[in-house]
Chain A
Amino acid sequence: MHPPTSKEQSKDVGITEATLPERVVIPLRQALGAPAEPTVKVGDEVRLGQKIGEANGFVSVPVHASIAGKVAAVGRFPHPLGGEQEAIVIEGDGSEAWDDSVRPRDNVDALTSDEIKSIVLEAGIVGLGGAAFPTHVKLSPPESKPIDTAILNGAECEPWLTADHRLMLESPAEILEGFSLIMRALGCERGIVGIEANKLDAVETVRKALPGGSKIRVAALQVKYPQGAEKQLIGALLGRQVPCGGLPMDVGVVVQNVGTALAVHDACRLGRPLVRRVVTLTGNPMSRPTNFMVRIGTLVSSLVDEAGGLDGDVAKVVSGGPMMGMTQFTLDVPVIKGMSGILFLGPDEIDVGEPDPCIRCGHCVHSCPMKLLPTTIEKYVMAGQIESAVDAGLNDCIECGSCSYVCPSRRRLIHYFKFGKYLAWERKKAAREKAEKEKKGQ
C-alpha cells in the first residue's frame, strides 16, 4: 500500500514557536482512559506548568496549565475527538514564568526506573503519535512480561504529516536522551529507532546524534503504509508478531513515538510537564503549510490565522493524517496532546459519492496489514452478524484505512468496522451486566 505521501509541502518548513495564545481551552480528557479531575476553579490564578487536573485512576494522566493566567471557565467545549467535553479555560496574562514546581534536574543520569515512571506520570505524558495512551502505563509492564527491546517510532507513515520528521531533524539529541530514559525505565538493553526510508535525512541526523557506545541503533524502514502501526513496526524491525488481542509487551517490546521521547526528556531534564507539542498544519487549501510548536489548548482557528489562513475551499478538516485522522466539525477545537496535525482537504480531494456494490476484487484483502478479509467482515457487520464479524477478526482490525483506500467501489469499510466494534463492545457489556445481575439474584 503506497498512498501518495504528500509531505513535500511542509517537510522543509522548520518548526516555529506559535505566538503565545491569549486564551487556551484545556480538555480534561486528553488521553485514552478516564478524564482528569479539575483541581482549580473559576477565578483561580494559575502559573505556567501548574497542575490543573489530577489523574483519575491508573489509566489516566494529569493536565497542566499551558499558559499563565486566570481560570475563566470550567465547562463543556468542542473536542477534537467529537462532541463536547469538559475543559478548563485559561485567560492568559502574557507571563512566561514557569510555576515553582517546574525545576530542572542535573542528576538525570542517576534517576531510577521508578523515579522516571513517576516523573512521566506527574508530567501528564501520553503517546504523542495519535492514540494518546498514557505513557507511564506503557512503561510499567507486569513482571511476567520482561521487555528486551524498546522501539522509538519515527516512521510517520501517515501522508501529509511532518511533525515527527521535523522534530527528529531539529532535536535529535533531546529525543535520544528521552529514549534512553524510556529504556532505563523499562530496564531494557536494546533500543531501535525506526524511520521510514523517505526521511533519510532524519536517519542520518539521528544516527549522528547517537553518543559513542550507545545501545541504540537507527533503522531505515521500507516506505509502506502502515509501517508505523505498532504491530507492523515490531514485525518489520524484529520479525515478531504481537499475538491477536495482545500488546507489544507480550513479545517483549514497548513502542514510543519520537514526540513522546522529547516530552520524557523535557520532564526529566527540565522538569517541565507536557504543555506543548509539534503540530503540522497542512493541506492544499493552506496558504502556508507550517510545523508549529504549540501550547496544548490553543484553538486550531487561531493557528490557521497565524499560518496565513486558507486560500482554497475546504470541505473537510482532519485532526491527524488522512488515513486514520478524525474529521472536525469546527475549527474552534483546542490542540490536545494526541494531535499530530491538522489537515485541510478541498472538495475535489475527498469522496462523497455513494458506494458501489462490492465486486469481490480482493484488493482490500491484499492490502490488509493484519491479513484479515475486510470485505467479509463488512458484510457480517452490515447484516448485524456481530459474532461472526468478531470471529472473522473484527477486533484485530487496527483501522489503518488501507482497505477503504484501495476499494474501487469506495465502500465504507472502516466506518462499518468502527460501528461493529462498538456493537460488539456493547453486547459484551450487556452480557457482563446480565451475568452480574444473575449472580446478585442468587
Chain B
Amino acid sequence: MRERLIVSASPHIREDVSVQKIMYGVVIALVPAIVGSVYFYGYRALYLTVLAVVAALVTEAIIQKARGVPVAIRDGSALVTGILLAFNLPPGVPWWIPVIGSIFAIAIGKQVFGGLGYNPLNPALVGRAFLLASWPVHMTTTWLPARGGTLSGTALHGIDAVTQATPLAVLKKVSEIIADPSSTTHQVVQAREALADLGSADTIVNLFIGRVGGCIGETSVLLLLVGAVYLMYRHWIDVRIPASYLLTVAVLAWVFGGPSGFFTGNALFHVLSGGLILGAFFMATDMVTSPVTPRGVIIFGVGCGVLTTIIRLIGGYPEGVSYSILLMNVATPLIDRHTRPKKFGEVKSSG
C-alpha cells in the first residue's frame, strides 16, 4: 500500500470515455465519406482535405502556444474541424481555399473564444461562411461531376451544360423559370422535364449513392449514414437532432416545396440532396454548439429544419444547411435557458 493515499471527492471510478475518444470516433465515422470523395472526385478531394487538416492543426498549435495554454492538438477536435471544413468545399477549389478556411475556422471560430468547449458557433461552418462571403465564385462554381454520374445527378446533360449546377441549384433554377411569367413556353416545358427528372427514381438513387456534384464530403448519403450509425451506436451523437432536423425538412419540403402548389414537393429529394445529411448528422450534432436539454435538442433540430427549408425555397442560396445551423448555434444558450427540464420532484407537495 502506498504511503500517501489519494483523497478526493466521489465518485472514484469513471467510465472509459474521453474527449479524445469521442473526437477520433467522429473521425472514424467520417472515413467512409473520405474514401467516397476520393472515388467520386479523385485524389484532389483527399489533397484538399489533408491541406485543411494540416492548416487546422498548425493554427491550433500556434495559437495555443501563444496563449500559453497546453498544446492540445492531440484531442482530435481540430482534426475534426479540418475534415468537416474540407467536406464543405467544392472539389475544384484552389489549394489555398481550405488553408485559409481552416485558419479562420480555428483562429476566429474557436480560439478567440477560449478554445474547445467555449466556441458558440461550429468552427468548420464559420470557416465556410467566411470563404463563401470572400470568394463566392470559387465557392459556388468549381463543381466537378462525380465519377459515374453527372453534376446535377440527372440524365439531362442539356441542363447540366447550361447551368453548371448541383441538384439543388438546378431545382432553384427550374422553379424560377416555371414561376417567371416572361419565360417562353419552350423554356417552361424544358424546365418541367428537368423537374420531373430531378424527382425520378434514378436521380434519387444517384443522390443516395453519391453520383452527383456537390461539396467534397456531402455527396454520398450512404457513406455518411454508415458513419452516423456508428456514432449513434456509441451514443456520441444525439439522434434527436438529426431526426427532428430531417423530419422538419421533409414535411416542409413536401408541403411548400412543389412548384405546382401545396403538398406536391419531393420530400425525399430535399432530404437526400445538398449537405443536409452531412449537416444533420455531423455538424448540427456538434456537442459544443448544440443544446444539452432534452427539449432543447428537439427545438434546435426543428429550427435548423425550418431555416434550411426557408433558405432553400425562398432565400438567395440554393443550399441552406450551413447558415441554418450557424443561426441555431447562436440561439443555443437561449434554448438551453428556457428548456430546463423539470426536476425530479418538482411537483406540488402532497403535504
Classify chain B's interface size.
35 or more
Complex-state Cα separation, A142 to B46, whole angstroms: 73
Asked if B7 and A375 make an inter-chain contact with CB atoms under 8 angstroms apart, the answer reads no
Question: Interface code A138-152, partner B: CB below 8 Å = 1, 0 otherwise?
Answer: 000000110000000
Which of these, B15, B18, B341, contacts A356 with CB under 8 Å? Answer: B18
Asked if A418 and B12 make an inter-chain contact with CB atoms under 8 angstroms apart, the answer reads no
Asked if A326 and B10 make an inter-chain contact with CB atoms under 8 angstroms apart, the answer reads yes
* Residues of chain A with a CB closer than 8 A to B118's CB: 357
Asked if B5 and A242 make an inter-chain contact with CB atoms under 8 angstroms apart, the answer reads no
Name which of A69-77, A95-103, A191-199, A366-374 contacts chain B: A366-374
Which of these, A310, A322, A324, contacts B1 with CB under 8 Å? Answer: A310
Asked if B10 and A316 make an inter-chain contact with CB atoms under 8 angstroms apart, the answer reads no
Closest-by-CB residue of B relative to A326 is B10
* Residues of chain A with a CB closer than 8 A to B12's CB: 316, 318, 322-323, 325, 327, 343, 345, 350
* Residues of chain A with a CB closer than 8 A to B348's CB: 243
Does chain A have a CB within 8 A of B65? no
Name which of A60-68, A121-129, A201-209, A244-252 contacts chain B: A244-252
Closest-by-CB residue of A relative to B11 is A401
Complex-state Cα separation, A165 to B117, whole angstroms: 43
Does chain A have a CB within 8 A of B8? yes
Asked if A404 and B14 make an inter-chain contact with CB atoms under 8 angstroms apart, the answer reads yes
Does chain B have a CB within 8 A of A58? no
Does chain A have a CB within 8 A of B157? no
Does more than half of chain A's interface fall in helix, strand or loop, or is it mixed?
loop
- Interface size of A by CB at 8 A reads 72
Does chain B have a CB within 8 A of A392? yes
* Residues of chain B with a CB closer than 8 A to A327's CB: 5-8, 12
* Residues of chain B with a CB closer than 8 A to A110's CB: none
Question: Interface code A72-88, partner B: CB below 8 Å = 1, 0 otherwise?
Answer: 00000000000000000
A235-B344, A350-B6, A359-B22 given; 12 more Cβ-contact pairs under 8 Å: A242-B345, A243-B349, A315-B2, A316-B6, A318-B12, A323-B10, A326-B10, A356-B19, A360-B292, A362-B292, A362-B297, A365-B294
The 4 closest A-B pairs by CB, nearest first: A401-B11, A357-B117, A362-B292, A415-B9
A-B contact pairs, 30 of them (CB 8 A): A3-B13, A145-B351, A159-B13, A241-B347, A243-B351, A246-B351, A250-B350, A251-B350, A252-B350, A314-B1, A322-B11, A322-B12, A322-B13, A326-B10, A329-B5, A343-B12, A349-B13, A351-B14, A356-B19, A356-B116, A359-B117, A361-B236, A362-B287, A363-B235, A370-B344, A373-B341, A393-B343, A405-B15, A408-B21, A414-B11
